[in-house]
A and B are shown apart, each in its own frame.
Chain A
Amino acid sequence: MGRADWRRPARWWPEIALVVALIVLPFGFDAWFRSPDLLTRILIWGIFGLGFDLLFGRTGLLSFGQAAFYGTGGFVTAYLLTSNTLDNVWLAMLIGILAATAFSVAVGFLALRRVGIYFAMITLAFGELSYFLENSPLSDFTGGENGLPGVPAPTIHIGSFTYAFTGSWPSYQLVAAFFFAGFVVARFVTLSPVGLVLTAIQQNPERTAALGHDVGAYKLAVFVFAAVFAGCGGVLLGIFQSYMPPDAFSLETSGQLVIQTVIGGAGTLIGPAVGAAVWLSLRDVLQQVPAIGDLWKFILGFVFVVLVTLLPSGIVGTIARLWARPRSAVAPAATAHRDAAARETLLAARPAAPKAAPSEFALEARDVRKAYGGIRAVDGVSLALPEGACHAVIGPNGAGKSTFLRLLKREETVDSGSILMHGADITAADVTAAYQYGLSKSYQINQLFPQLTVRQNLRIGALGRQRGRLRLDIFRSADGFPQVEAVVDALIEELDLTACADTVVSVLAYGEKRRLELGLALASQPSVLLLDEPLAGLSPAEREGVKDLIRNVGKGRTIILVEHDMDAVFELAQRITVLHEGRVLAEGTPKEISNDPSVRQAYLGGMAP
């Protein structure tokens, strides 16, 4: 079982450290500030930030509208309690959080249609929309600009014993308990396969989708998850202050969250709380200083700009990096060694793929067409590959080979024609579904996850097939699938990447990256493999290695090979299709093709003997 497994005690040290800090810190705050209130505020921002850190730090989705969910959670709970609709505070808190969650499903559905800049603008717009809705149309419920005063605190009844979370210390206890619980859950997420997929989405969303993970669904899941934390933070804010302020909905709230997360360190879970500590204490301390008191926010903005520019990993991220450096010389985790035969048996295994009708062909393209404007990139290509065939597609540059592969892998929609796998029509499937059918592809230009290790890269590929399009198994560790780990270990050896198995991909040599690119396509144990120029850019020695790899691991699989290296094509392929200007010029065995006059014409411009 892996390092992130919850049964291992060492996995729990951050949680233990946090418990100690949550118990010890308030005494210090008590001595300095006469109450733990500042710490309570920091932790409320911290809870809000735990979700945002998963959304932005982990997945890379920069939302400027988190205030919408913070405010919704807080106001729904506050309204239910102050209007006497509900007496049970715990129930009202739960409903508040659920309301924020429900709202985020709708917003996420719309905002996640776009990425990057657009996503930031749209989330910001929805944040502002909620602010305006709170302010006027819904002011009968929300108190408009006045907010809702008199939010009661929850109580615990055990027999005759009653404990109310009112006042500084009890509020702190309540908030600290929520923060701890939130941290535990968020850490489970980061260590789970879901966390790995979210990181993969940040680094290369296209490849993540091509490796069988439903990127849109995972994004929506993390967006909603972040809103649960936001709603929770808003609910606690109202209870802690016994007042729900309208500016919980303001752009300023969303902005403060972003700034605190970046200052503290995105992707570190605890970063947003650290950033909140910086923000709130800077405000409280600097405001006491007469000359620069009014400049506290300017100074904060300046610090923020400097940090973004020079230390993008923030305070916690930078400390963690410095801490990890002296220890980076640790030996790579032992890779279970198998002899070559066992490896190949393991890798040759193929998960069952859905089969519609028994078909003699593993992959079939029927009169496939695709045009871009007036250019017919693929103009009526038909191809049928029996099980286990290795079929090469060659042709001059611009012949439509890569487009044809993209159509087969379902990365592009066809204009007309159909594509079948094992008799099942996959013409309407998307790239993720195609992978689930057992169709995978290695790319002409490496499509890797540069900030992850070789092992994690391969794991993402293998998990895609094992776990299906979407699974929210957040309490499972990412390396907790024995079948996946076995495949990953075998692949690392087969690819000759044992020495760098736990090295971050961005520092690998080109040849190693190229082998990993092929490995990603193999990680799903596909039944059909599309190889888009696997030898491109490799040295002659490396070419031999990759050719052996294709021969070994390709055994029993159906392969379509697009390649300019004709020696390799004639060595590996049993049949060859020649494309020219989007059409099939010739098809046949290597011998037939090399003697075909029209092929010579297309390739050599009629200069053939």
Chain B
Amino acid sequence: MPTLAQFLSQAFNGIALGSLLALIASGLSIILGTLGVLNFAHGAMFMLGAYTAYVVLGHWDSFAVALALGALVLFAVGFATERGLIRFYYARPKEDQILVTFGLGIMLVEAVRYVFGGLSQRVPLPAWGQGIVNFGYFIYPLYRVEAIGLVGVLLLAFYVLLYRTRIGLVVRAGIEDPLMVELLGTHVRRAFLIVFCLGAMAAGVAGVIYAPLAAVIPNMGEPFLVECFVVVVIGGLGSFPGAVVGGIVVGEILSLTTLFNPAYAQAAIYAVMTLVLIVRPRGLFGTMGRA
């Protein structure tokens, strides 16, 4: 049996991973909910954020610049994608939308592989992130603690944007019924563009934060994309609280199963997903009737 310290440490790991998943998945989920498009390129967008951090931190020693540029780059990518590709797909079958974003994801990954090579790159920890924190029962790397705080702040900002602003109201109404929003005289297509950019930025910023913690390689986004799908299925389609809670749940399952048997960590999240599908097919926070 694991000790209490091991358990607490892994539980904390679960929050660290889960909060990151929550941030990525919330971007995926609001795009899915509002535009009805499942963005298979979302993992690649996460990867672009990590590479932005790699480039920026190679030139300036400023994490803030990396975060800002990561958000900016992904805003631009999201903008170009929605205007150049996705908007032609709103009237086409869901399957076509999946295919085109899947193809886009491959292009992004391969373009990065061409420019930076396929080898993994290391991104240094920022100076303020070095060191450890002593929690009494266990010690924990300082940057990871700070990352949780940072992600928490970003999720809060996302929440405020969605639930406390006019554009957020349009977005949430769009998740319920895009046609009705359009009929009520709000230009829902413009909201679509904003949502797609926001979703891409969420993935990108998550990529920047995650970059110092992992090997930065072109297909690093793939496992995150798949785990985000699990998060969305568990949390419920298009639901922001669903993405956050689902993210934490998946993060905790991965971390706590690792404590007992690492070989089954991945299998465990799919087992839980299966369970949710059988018991509550719409997910924890999903509404009936969509997709």
Chain A interface (Cβ within 8 Å of chain B)?
56, 60, 62, 110, 113-118, 120-122, 124-126, 128-129, 132-133, 136-137, 251, 255, 258-259, 262, 294-295, 297-298, 300-302, 304-305, 308-309, 312
Contact = CB atoms under 8 A, between A and B. Distances in A.
Contacts of B277: 110, 113-114, 122
Contact of A301 (B38, B110, B233): B110
B222 A137 contact: no
Given A110-B278, A120-B95, A259-B102, 5 more contacts: A113-B281, A115-B291, A117-B237, A125-B273, A302-B107
B106 A297 contact: yes
A258 B40 CA distance: 13
Contact of B233 (A56, A122, A300): A122
Contacts of B237: 117-118
Given A118-B291, A121-B38, A125-B270, A301 B106 contact: yes
15 contacts: A121-B38, A125-B270, A132-B267, A133-B267, A136-B263, A136-B264, A251-B226, A258-B102, A295-B114, A298-B110, A298-B111, A301-B103, A301-B106, A305-B85, A308-B100
Best-buried of A116, A297, A300, A302 by chain B (most CB within 10 Å): A116
Contacts of B267: 129, 132-133, 137
A300 B281 CA distance: 36
Contacts of A60: 93, 95
Contacts of B98: 62, 117, 120
Given A136-B263, A137-B267, A301 B107 contact: yes
Contacts, number: 108
Interface in B93-127: 93-96, 98-100, 102-104, 106-107, 110-111, 113-114
Contacts of B110: 295, 297-298, 301
B99 A262 contact: yes
A590 to B, nearest CB: 39
Contacts of B30: none
Contacts of B233: 118, 121-122, 125
B103 A298 contact: no
A116 B100 contact: no
A312 B104 contact: no
Contact of B113 (A133, A258, A294, A304): A294
Contacts of A298: 106-107, 110-111, 114
Best-buried of B88, B230, B270 by chain A (most CB within 10 Å): B270
B51 to A, nearest CB: 15
Nearest to B38: A117
A608 B266 CA distance: 72
A251 B219 CA distance: 12
Given A121-B229, A137-B263, A309 B100 contact: yes
A312 B111 contact: no
Best-buried of A56, A121, A259, A295 by chain B (most CB within 10 Å): A121
B277 to A, nearest CB: 6
Contact of A129 (B36, B88, B99, B266): B266
A199 to B, nearest CB: 15
A251 B225 CA distance: 11
A129 B291 contact: no
A529 B196 CA distance: 47
Contacts of B263: 136-137
A125 B272 CA distance: 12
A308 B229 contact: no
Interface string B6-36: 0000000000000000000000000010001
A469 B247 CA distance: 41
Contacts of A117: 32, 36, 38, 94, 98, 237, 291
Interface residues of B, number: 40
B102 A255 contact: yes
B170 interface: no
Interface of B: 32, 36, 38, 85, 88, 93-96, 98-100, 102-104, 106-107, 110-111, 113-114, 222, 226, 229-230, 232-233, 237, 262-264, 266-267, 270, 273-274, 277-278, 281, 291
Contacts of A62: 95, 98-99
Nearest to B281: A113
B88 A309 contact: yes
A545 B266 CA distance: 63
Contacts of A300: 106
A422 to B, nearest CB: 34
B107 A116 contact: no
Nearest to A62: B95
Nearest to A116: B94
A196 B281 CA distance: 30
Contacts of A116: 94-95, 291
Best-buried of A113, A126, A137 by chain B (most CB within 10 Å): A137
Contacts of B226: 124-125, 128, 251
B111 to A, nearest CB: 6
Given A110-B278, A137-B263, A295-B110, A305 B38 contact: no
Contact of B103 (A133, A294, A295, A304): A304
A251 B274 contact: no
B155 to A, nearest CB: 22
A114 B110 CA distance: 32
A110 B270 contact: no
Complex A-B, nearest 5 residue pairs according to Cβ-Cβ distance, in ascending order:
A301-B106, A298-B110, A132-B266, A136-B263, A305-B103
Best-buried of B113, B237, B274 by chain A (most CB within 10 Å): B274
Best-buried of A124, A132, A259, A312 by chain B (most CB within 10 Å): A132
A578 B103 CA distance: 56
Contacts of A132: 266-267
A222 to B, nearest CB: 15
Contacts of B264: 136-137
Given A124-B226, A132-B267, A258-B99, A294 B88 contact: no
Contacts of A297: 106, 110
B30 to A, nearest CB: 14
A129 B270 contact: yes
Contacts of A295: 110, 114
Contacts of A120: 38, 95, 98
Contacts of B229: 121, 124-125
Contacts of B99: 62, 258, 262, 304, 308
Nearest to B108: A301
Contacts of B38: 117, 120-121
A307 B93 CA distance: 15
Contacts of A128: 226, 266, 270
Nearest to B97: A117
A305 B146 CA distance: 40
Contacts of A312: 96
Contacts of A56: 95
A11 B229 CA distance: 44
